[in-house]
Amino acid sequence: MKIYKGLVFLASLLLLVGCEGFLTQKGQDQYIPKTTADFKELLYGEAGFYHLTELNSIYGYASKGYTFAHYMTDDVEFFNAVTDRPTSSDYDSPVASWIERSVLNAYMDVMQGAFTWQQDIEQEHFINENYVYLYHHVLTANLCLMNVEQSEGTDEEKDILKGQASFTRAFAYFMLANLYAKPYNKSQPTDLCVPLKTDVAPWITASRATMAQVWGVIVDDVETALRTLEGKTINENKHHINYQTALVLAARIYLYMENWDKVIECGEKFRTLYLSKYPIYDITGMAITEKFTYNGTLTTPPFNRSDNSEIVWVMGDNGSTTGGSSPYFDCFKPTDTSTGANAVTLCIRVSSMDSTGLVNQYRNGDHRLSSWFYAPVKKSETRPLFRYNYTVGKIIKSGTRISFSSPIIRCHGMFRTSEVILMLAEAYARQATPDRTNAVAMLDELRSKRIDAAHYATERWTEGDFASPQALVDSIFQERRRELCFEELHRWWDLRRMDNASRPTIVHRWKNRVKYTLSNTDDAGYVLDFPVKELEVSGATLVPNTRPARPSQPDGATP
């Protein structure tokens, strides 16, 4: 396994830095960390999760990010702007003269493997480098943890480095375990998880550790982060890891482990210490209007911006409005000519065509639909991309424009107060003795900042609205879908950990009158296999996941 790809510097550094102390001589082209500040700079430079939300990169179609997992959820759908467009004359027919954007846009099939839950999601034009990228973070954190005690710095500086490196390793393993292994709540302690590495010794092939071993490290690391970061003064920049960031991660880890008492402990501590500082951002004051004009100028501010009070920590590309490395679902030039030689008509877009689609989950007066999505515009807009799609505007840099030629639907990584409130609601609802009062109070705390007052009188939930504890839990999962859409991989991870009775069966239509189905049972498609290169290099050492080929089925709907 080529885990050290991109870590040549770290590997050579290991030869120079050890338990015996630091070498005093170095080559002109070498930089040897010596102080705690040096190692902190190394941690942020090499392991800042900056590429988690990218789809493609300068290396072609190789992706360090995990955006491909969004294509596996029920929040996206295939769309043909010729056959599926609205019948209203307001939308007219597609315009064939729109300029072709880039070579990537000529390939609708880039994400077909992920979108149709194939045995191997990698395609001719898509290489999954997310696995190696996350281990890069693990090894960087390992290097910092191995050297923090002998580094030159104050005790507080060492504690901060130890906490931030422990957080980094915990978060990286959390993502690896939730992509390449069974959900924690549906596994046995002895089931295979992912390879476990807590040092920086050379490692070419790797065997898989058990669920108990990997999740044990995740818990130990996040608890170390909590212990060493509590009470420390850390830069308030929202890209920096601090105590409140660790509280959110700890609550999330315990949520997936179904340790409801620990979720409540971490979540309530966060609310007590930080809710006044990071309150839920009230979007009900935003007018429900068309948010951009023909030339792309925003008329209302984006949700993800530096002064949004509820954002605790951000990662990824920070929602840049330009560049080709951000993730997106887009309209592509068709590979066949039946829809017009140059028509830009085929899309993977936000799901909206039926009642189960994401767009149709928002009720009357819910400003999330109007504040986080751009509704389809009418025939005055010449680009089918905007004429027929709900376009995500939730994650945009603090700017005033949407570029028509830049990636459109972005996912992002950020920790928010709203997620903590939803985790608390679920934990209260799923305790051995459910606390419906607190669970509903948490939901009310969030929903009152999302649904305008005129509608909230009828949309507000009470304990009597739920016939059973499970009905309340199901509603919380629905609220998570509405609130956390296209942030990190919340929807995919939630689908994995749902009870089979609550989990929907997902049908993805594809071209040529076919469809693919992901069942609501514990379908093998919910666990990714390891990237092809890693399996080839490791041979029998890396046991693959059982992920059978998924054939297409006839689709009665118009393609």
- Asked if residue 81 is part of any domain, the answer here is yes
pLDDT at position 202 over 70:
yes
**Mean pLDDT, residues 206-234 taken together:** 96
DSSP conformation class of 163: H
pLDDT in tens, 26-52: 444 556 789 999 999 999 989 989 888
Share of the chain above pLDDT 70, in %: 72
412 confidence band (pLDDT: 50, 70, 90): low
Report CA 79 to chain centroid distance, whole Å: 23
- Asked if residue 469 is part of any domain, the answer here is no
pLDDT at 319: 38
Phi, psi of 392 (to 5 degrees): -75, 120
- Cβ neighbours of residue 287 under 8 Å, at least 6 residues apart? 300
Measured CA to CA, the distance from residue 241 to residue 134 in angstroms comes to: 17
pLDDT at 301: 58
C-alpha closest to that of 197 among 220, 214, 222, 221: 214
Spatial contact of 439 and 476, defined as CB atoms under 8 Å apart: yes
**Mean pLDDT, residues 404-409 taken together:** 34
Measured CA to CA, the distance from residue 498 to residue 137 in angstroms comes to: 29
**Mean pLDDT, residues 403-421 taken together:** 65
Phi, psi of 101 (to 5 degrees): -80, -55
pLDDT at 59: 34
Amino acid at 458: T
C-alpha closest to that of 43 among 131, 135, 134, 139: 139
Q: Which residue has the higher pLDDT, 190 or 379?
A: 190
pLDDT in tens, 426-437: 999 999 999 999
**Mean pLDDT, residues 129-145 taken together:** 94
72 confidence band (pLDDT: 50, 70, 90): very high
pLDDT at 451: 93
- Asked if residue 405 is part of any domain, the answer here is yes
- Asked if residue 514 is part of any domain, the answer here is no
- Asked if residue 508 is part of any domain, the answer here is no
**Mean pLDDT, residues 384-407 taken together:** 51
pLDDT at position 322 over 80:
no
Count of Cβ atoms closer than 10 Å to residue 263 Cβ: 26
Residue 234, CA distances (Å) to 163, 228, 311, 481 in order: 11, 12, 16, 32
- Asked if residue 470 is part of any domain, the answer here is no
Q: Which residue has the higher pLDDT, 513 or 386?
A: 513
- Asked if residue 43 is part of any domain, the answer here is yes
Tokens of 479: 């609220």
- Asked if residue 523 is part of any domain, the answer here is no
Tokens of 124: 């001719």
Tokens of 206: 């790797």
374 confidence band (pLDDT: 50, 70, 90): confident
pLDDT in tens, 146-177: 999 999 999 999 999 999 999 999 999 999 99
237 confidence band (pLDDT: 50, 70, 90): confident
- Cβ neighbours of residue 539 under 8 Å, at least 6 residues apart? 205
82 confidence band (pLDDT: 50, 70, 90): low
pLDDT at position 481 over 50:
yes
Average pLDDT value over all residues in the chain? 79
What is the length of the chain?
559
C-alpha closest to that of 430 among 244, 196, 255: 255
**Mean pLDDT, residues 287-306 taken together:** 53
DSSP string computed for 15-29: HHEETTEE-S---TT
pLDDT at 343: 45
pLDDT at position 224 over 60:
yes
Per DSSP, the three-state class of 309 is: coil
Tokens of 5: 């790809």
pLDDT in tens, 491-536: 999 999 999 999 999 999 988 779 999 999 999 999 999 999 899 8
Which of 9-18, 91-100, 168-177, 537-546 has the largest mean confidence?
A: 168-177
The count of structural domains within the chain is 1
Domain containing 285: what range? 1-459
**Mean pLDDT, residues 419-445 taken together:** 97
CATH code of 439's domain = 1.25.40.390
